[in-house]
Structure 1
Amino acid sequence: MRLTKFEHAALLIEQSGRKLFIDPGSFTTAITDAASTAAVVITHEHPDHWTPEQLRRILTASPDAVVFGPEGVVDAVREADPSIAVTRVDPGDTVEAGPFTLTFSGGRHAVIHSSIPVIDNVGVLVNDVLYYPGDSWAVPEGVAVDLLAVPAGAPWLKIAEAMDYVLEVKPKRSFATHEMVLSTAGKGMAGERLRWATEQGGGEYLALQPGDSIDL
C-alpha cells in the first residue's frame, strides 16, 4: 500500500492497482490522474475537503468509484450536484471498496467557535494502517495506529491540542496534514512540535511535503 500526500487535507492511497482519495478539496490542486479509483472518502462538508469539481474529475475517470461521507456530506453534495451519489457512513461503520477496508469513527467536527454550528465529521482508518481523523480529535477505539495523519493548522485548533492528540494516540509514525493555512515558517514549527510528541511514544515523525509518497 502506498500513500501520497497532496496539498492540505488530501491524500491518495494506492493498493493492487486501485486508488482511494481522501478529502480532495479547494486547497488541493486539481486531481488529474484518477483512473482505477475505487473510492473517495469525504470526512465532512467544508469546501477545503471537497468540491464538486474535484469529485467530477475523479468520477469522470472512474465512473464506478464510490463516494463515502457522513450525512452532512450527503446533503451538501446533493445540493451542489444531484448527479453525484454519496453513500452515507456513520461512526462504527466498516465498508469494503476494492482492496480497501474503511472503518469510520468520530462523528462531529471540532468546535470552531460557539457562533458556528458543529457539523458531521468522520475519521477513517484505512486497512488498519492509516488513520486520519478529519477535522476532529477522534481516537479510533481498540486500534494501535501505524500511521497517523495529524491536522496541523486550522481555525479550530491550536498546536497544543495536536500535540496532546499525538501523545494520546501514540502512533508508530505520523505526518502533518491540514496545513495549507500555515506559512512556511508555521509549517516548520508545527512539524517540530508534532515530531516531539510522536517521539515521546517511541514513534517516528515524517516531514512529508505535497507530492511525497511512502510505502505502508
Structure 2
Amino acid sequence: MLMTKYTHACVRLEKNGAVLVIDPGVFSETDVALAGADAILITHEHADHIDQDAVLAALAANPGLPLHAPAVVADALRAAAPDAAGQVYDAAAGDTFTAAGFTIRCFGGQHALIHPSIPVVANVGYLVDDAVYHPGDSLIVPAGVQVGTLLAPVHAPWSKVAEVVDFVVSVRAAKAFQIHDGLLNETGLAFTESHIARVGAEHGTQFRHLAAGESVEL
C-alpha cells in the first residue's frame, strides 16, 4: 500500500490501482489528493478535515464515487447535493465496510473536547485494512487490534504533547507518521515530534516525519 501525506490531516492510500482519500480539508491540496479517487472517508465536520466544495465537485464528476462520513456530515452533503445522495453513506463507531477494495473499521464516535463551552461533534476514526489508523480529531485507541501504521495528530487546540505521546505509546504501532500539523511552524513541529519520536522508540514505535506530498510504501 502506498500512502501520500498532504498538508494537515489529509492522506491518500493506493492499493491494486484503487485510491482511498481520507479527510481532504481546506488546508490540504484537495485537487491533487482527490484526483482519481475511488472512495472518500471523512472523520468529522470541521473544515480542516472536509473541503465541502472540493468534495461535492468530486462526487459530481464521478457518480460512482462513494463517500463515508458521520451522519451529520453525510446529511449535510446529501442536502447540499441531492443528485449525489446515493453516493454518501453514514459511518459510525463499530461499523465495518468495504470501500474501493479497502476494508474499513470504525472507532471512536466523538471529537476530542476543545473547551466545555464548545459543543462536541461526531468523529469517526478509520482503520484501513487492519493496518493504517487515522483517528481524526481524537486520541481513541482502537481496541482489540494491532495497528501497523498510526497517523498521529501531533498538534491541535484540543491536545497537549503529553497526551499525544501517551496515545502513540498506547497504540504501539510499528510505524507512526504525523497528521494534524498545519497549525505549527517548523520550530514547533520539530520540538513536538522530537518528544513523540524519542518516547515512541522506547515503546517500539518508529516515528517519521513526512513532508506534504511525500509518499511512503507501507
Same fold flag (TM > 0.5): yes
Counterpart AA for 2:210: L
Q: 2:137 aligns with which of 131, 135, 138?
A: 135
Report Cα offsets for 1:172-213 as digits up to 9, x if no partner. 000110010111111111111111232122121111111111
Query: Which amino acid counterpart does residue 9 of structure 1 have in structure 2?
Result: A
Matched residue SS, 1:187 = helix
Question: Structure 2 counterpart of 1:180, which letter?
Answer: G
| Corresponding residue of 1:123 | 125
Deviations 1:34-79 (A, max 9, x none): 4542210000000110022220343345331110011121233245
Give the corresponding residue for 2:111: 109
**2:26 maps to 1:26:** yes
Q: Which runs of 5+ in 2 are unaligned?
A: none
CA distance in 2, matches of 1:148, 1:91: 18
Cα contact 1:35–1:62 (8 A) shared by 2: no
Q: Which residue of 2 aligns with 1:47?
A: 47
Structure-1-length-normalised TM-score:
0.94
Query: Is contact 1:5-1:213 (8 Å) kept?
Result: yes
Once structures 1 and 2 are overlaid, which stretch shifts more, 4-13 or 31-40?
Answer: 31-40
Whichever residue aligns with residue 66 of structure 1, its letter is P
Please list, as runs of the form range in 1=range in 2, the aligned pairs for 1:22-171 lying within 5 A after superposition: 22-32=22-32, 34-85=34-85, 86-171=88-173
The alpha carbon displacement at 1:150 in A equals 0.3
* Mean Cα deviation higher: 24-33 or 115-124: 24-33
Matched, 1:14 2:33: no
| TM value normalised by structure 2 | 0.93
- Deviation string 1:63-102 (CA, Å, 9 cap, x unpaired) is 3111001112123324544444320011111101122111
The answer for the alignment partner of 1:214 in structure 2 is 216
Equivalent pairs counted in the alignment come to 216
- Confirm or deny: 8 A CA contact 1:171 1:201 kept in the other structure: no
How far off its partner does 1:171 sit? 0.9
Structure with the bigger percentage of helix = 2
SS at match of 2:32: coil
What SS is found at the alignment partner of 1:179? coil
Query: Is the Cα contact below 8 Å between 1:159 and 1:190 reproduced in 2?
Result: yes
Check the 8 A contact 1:34/1:62 in 2, yes or no.
no
Cα contact 1:31–1:58 (8 A) shared by 2 = no
- Amino acid corresponding to residue 147 of structure 2 in structure 1: V
* Aligned-pair identity (%): 40
Q: 1:157 Cα deviation (Å)?
A: 0.8
Offset at residue 33 of structure 1 (A): 6.0
Per-residue Cα deviation, 1:3-38 (whole angstroms, up to 9, x for no partner): 000000000000111100000011112323645422
More displaced, 30-39 or 95-104? 30-39
| Matched residue type, 1:11 | V
The 2-side partners of 1:33 and 1:168 are apart by 30
